[in-house]
Structure 1
Amino acid sequence: MINGEKNVEQPIRWAMVGGGRGSQIGYIHRSAALRDHNFELVAGAFDINPERGKDFGVNLHVDPERCYPDYKTMFKEEAKREDGIQAVSVATPNGTHYEITKAALNAGLHVVCEKPLCFTTEEALELQVLAKAKNLVVGVTYGYAGHQMIDQARRMIENGDLGEIRIVKMQFAHGFHSAAVEENSESTKWRVDPKVAGPSYVLGDVGTHPLYISEVMLPNLKIKKLMCSRQSFVKSRAPLEDNAFTIMEYDNGAVGYVWSSCVNAGSMHGQTIRVIGSKASIEWWDEHPNQLRYEVQGQPAQILDRGMDYLYPQALTDDRIGGGHPEGLFEAWSNLYTRFAKAMVAADRGEMLDASWYPGIEAGVEGVRWVENCVRSADNGAVWVEYQ
């Protein structure tokens, strides 16, 4: 159980690029990073508008002299300080992730980056090589993976509780963009602009979340080929999709399916993952993240609850309060930031922790690769393509 005792000897000196006033995800980054005293926010380039960014940083109790107009200035000036930053989180629009992450790695900084890591597999692999050469950690914020019942699912599958895995059914299908909300929302507008968002909208924005959860639950399952069909129901979003269906075949004969959508009218998140085996199935729903549904063929369905002694020990490691008390997304992100911090400290000692323990550079590369293959399939007429 996590009880607030230190995980690192000294908090990691940390900065943010983006995540300023009006950001959808800036606050959860800060809340997660600061909660367990693993990081200390000492600097930032919080906004594309320097004055607005400085005002915001001062309101976060950051020294005004360390509220910088842009990330390049921040990396340069912080490198001159004995107490300069050691890590940075990138919470900016998609089109900037590659250049900022590359610059941070070249500056000798660990990175936590929003997904997608970049636009192409080639760029992602370049960042992976650079991070490895410099022995630096790149974490990717697949925040839902920090929920404890994801680890319970992994252990059940690993232990053979489900039998042979046959089907993996995934979806993240919300309805908040079922109309052209981007016309009045700057935070949505860039998400449907190919120059800023990249080659996809919902595939990269929401589809990669359950995909990564499936990779955590089933680390040995590899995609062999896939077929993707994507649509732009709000026509002004074309060529980017607001709905997509992806069917996958895995190397062990299992099949998978991902529904990625923002036009599922009436749905909140609609993010679920169901893993079906020869003996039993499990299902996790992010709107009820403290429960895991366990269905054994021929027996009544069971609801497993977070924090209970009948779970596998690994699923209890990140509990912050006893069973029955609901934990949510902020706790899940905090769990990931704790893992990021431990990985960064280990890397500074010359060690690299198990990459499957947290969403690292490998997860970032795989997310970009999956989107690239989906787009290739869809744009060639929704044909089957070998996974490259």
Structure 2
Amino acid sequence: MIYGEKNVEKPIRWAMVGGGKGSQIGYIHRSAALRDHNFQLVAGAFDINPERGRDFGVNLHVDPERCYPDYKTMFAEEAKREDGIQAVSIATPNGTHYEITKAALTAGMHVVCEKPLCFTTEEAEELEALAKEKNRIVGITYGYAGHQMIEQARQMIANGDLGEIRIVKMQFAHGFHSAAVEEGNASTKWRVDPKVAGPSYVLGDVGTHPLFLSEVMLPNFKIKKLMCSCQSFVKSRAPLEDNAFTIMEYENGAMGTVWSSCVNAGSMHGHSIRVVGGKASIEWDDERPNQLRYEVQGQPAQILDRGMDYNYPEALTADRIGAGHAEGLFEGWSNLYTRFALAMDAADRGETLENLWYPDIHAGVEGVRWVENCVRSADNGAVWVDYK
């Protein structure tokens, strides 16, 4: 169980690029990073508007002199300080992730980056090589993976509780953009602009979340080929899709599907993953994240709750408050930021922690590769394409 005690000897000196006032995601980054005393927010380039960013940083108790107008200035000035930043989180629009991540790694910093890591597999592999060369950690914020029952699912599958895995059914299909809401919302508008969002909308924005959950639960599964069909039901979003269906064949013969959508009218999140084995199935839904549905063929369905002793020990290590109390996305993100901190601290000491998984640079690469292959399939008439 987590009690908030220190995991690293000294908090990692940390900064943010983006995540300022009006950001959809900035606050959860700060809440997650600061919760367990693993990071200390000491600097930031919080906003494209320098004055607004400085005011925001001051309201976060950041030294005004360390509230910078842009990330380039921040990296240069912080490098001159003995107490300069060691890590940076990137919470900016998609089109900037590659250049900021590359600059941070080149400057010798650890990185936590919003997904997608970048737009092309070539760029992603370049960043992966740079991170390896510099011995720096890159974490990707697939925040749902921090929920305790994802670890329970991983352990159940590894232990053979489900038998041989046959089918992985995934979806993230919400309804909040079933109309052209971007016309009056700047924080949504950039997501449907190919110059800023990249080659896809919902595939990269929501589809990669359940995809990463499947990678956590099934770490040895490799995609052999896939087929993807994309639609732009709100026509002004074309050429970017607001709905997509992807079918995948794994190298071991298992099959997977992903429904990625923002036009599932009436759905809050519609984010779930179901893993079907020869003996039993499990299903996790992010609107009920504290529970895992376990269905053994021929027996009544069971609901497993987080924090209970019947779960595997590995699923209890991230518990923060005991069974019965509802935990949510902020706790899930906090668990991931704790893992990021452990990995960064170990790297700084020249060590590698065994059995510590988190959404790392390779997960970022695979997310980009999956989107790229889905777009390639869809652009060629929803044909099967080899994954690599």
Matched residue, 1:280: 280
CA distance in 2, matches of 1:298, 1:252: 26
Cα contact 2:339–2:356 (8 A) shared by 1 = no
Q: Tell me which residue corresponds to 1:108.
A: 108
Q: What does 1:48-87 align with in structure 2 at a 5 Å threshold?
A: 48-87=48-87
Q: Secondary structure at the match of 2:118?
A: coil
Contact 2:221–2:251 at 8 Å: present in 1 too? Answer: yes
Q: Does 1:372 align with 2:372?
A: yes
Q: Percent identity?
A: 87
Question: What is the CA–CA distance in structure 1 between the aligned matches of 2:372 and 2:150, rounded to whole Å?
Answer: 26
Q: Deviations over 1:342-381 (max 9, x none)?
A: 0000001112335861000010000000000000000000
* Equivalent position of 2:99 in the other structure: 99
Partner in structure 1 of residue 43 of structure 2 = 43
Say whether the 8 Å CA contact 1:115–1:364 is kept in structure 2. yes
C-alpha separation in 2, matches of 1:77 and 1:154: 43
CA offsets 1:127-175 (integer angstroms, 9 cap, x no match)? 0000000000000000000001000000000000000000000000000
**Does the aligned pair in 2 maintain the 1:174–1:265 contact within 8 Å?**
yes
Tell me if structure 2 keeps the 8 A contact 1:148–1:319: yes
Contact kept? 1:125, 1:365, Cα under 8 Å? yes
**Could you tell me which residue of structure 2 aligns to residue 142 of structure 1?**
142
**One-letter amino acid of the counterpart of residue 348, structure 2:** D
1-side partners of 2:91 and 2:248: how far apart? Answer: 30
The question of whether the paired residues in 1 share the 8 Å contact of 2:210 and 2:271 is answered with yes
Q: Which residue number corresponds to residue 33 of structure 1? A: 33
Deviations 1:298-357 (A, max 9, x none): 000000000000000000000001101010000000000000000000001112335861
1:312 corresponds in structure 2 to 312
1:359 alignment partner in structure 2: 359
Work out the CA distance in 1 between the residues paired with 2:73 and 2:322. 45
Paired with 1:363 and 1:66, the residues of 2 have a C-alpha distance of 32
Partner Cα distance (1:18, 1:322) in 2: 34
Retained in 2: the 8 A contact 1:355–1:362?
A: no
Distance in 2, matches of 1:351 and 1:215, equals 24
Contact 1:219 1:356 in 2 (8 A): no
Q: 1 CA distance for matches of 2:62 and 2:348?
A: 25
C-alpha distance in 2 between matches for 1:200 and 1:369: 12
TM-score (norm 2): 0.99
Task: Report the AA paired with residue 358 of structure 2.
Answer: Y
User: Within 2, Cα distance between the matches of 1:317 and 1:231?
Assistant: 42
Runs of 4+ in 1 over 3 A off after TM superposition: 353-356
Matched to 1:98, the amino acid is: Y
- Counterpart of 1:156 in structure 2 is 156
Q: Is the 8 A contact 1:20 1:53 kept in 2?
A: yes
**Aligned residue number for residue 199 of structure 2:** 199
Q: Which amino acid counterpart does residue 26 of structure 2 have in structure 1?
A: G
Deviations 1:56-108 (A, max 9, x none): 00000000000000000000000000110000000000000000000000000
1:16 aligns with 2:30: no
Given residue 225 of structure 1, which amino acid in structure 2 is its aligned partner?
K
C-alpha contact 1:201 1:241 (8 A) present in aligned 2: yes
* Partner deviation per Cα, 1:206-252 (whole Å, 9 max, x = no partner): 00000000000000011000000000000000000000000000011
In the aligned structure 1, how far is the partner of 2:321 from the partner of 2:144?
Answer: 18
Give the TM-score of the pair, scaled to structure 1: 0.99
Distance 2:354 2:143 in 1: 18
Distance 2:352 2:104 in 1: 19
Q: What does residue range 285-364 of structure 1 map to in structure 2 within 5 Å?
A: 285-354=285-354, 357-364=357-364
Secondary structure of 1:108 counterpart: coil
Which letter maps to 1:58? V
Could you say if the C-alpha distance between residues 356 and 4 of structure 1 is closer, same or farther in structure 2, counting changes exceeding 3 Å?
Answer: closer
SS, match of residue 276 in structure 1? strand
SS of match in other structure, 1:377: helix
- Number of the residue aligned with 2:260: 260
AA at the equivalent of 1:102: K
Q: Is the 2:231–2:242 contact (alpha carbons within 8 Å) kept by the matching residues of 1?
A: yes
Distance 1:32 1:183, change over 3 A: same
Residues 169-210 of structure 1, C-alpha deviations (whole Å, 9 max, x = no match): 000000000000000000000000000000000000000000
Q: Structure 2: where are the runs of 5+ without partners?
A: none
Counterparts of 1:202-221 in structure 2, within 5 Å, are 202-221=202-221
AA of the residue aligned to 1:60: L
Residues in 1 aligned to 2:194 and 2:2: alpha-carbon distance in whole angstroms: 41
Q: Distance in 2 between matches of 1:143 and 1:41?
A: 20
The residue number in structure 1 matching 2:170 is: 170
The aligned length equals: 388
Which SS does the other structure have where 1:244 is aligned?
Answer: strand
Give distance in 2, aligned partners of 1:53 and 1:282. Answer: 45
CA–CA distance in 2 between the matches of 1:322 and 1:361?
A: 32
Q: What letter is aligned with 1:212? A: F
* Matched position secondary structure for 1:294: strand
2-structure distance, mates of 1:272, 1:141: 17
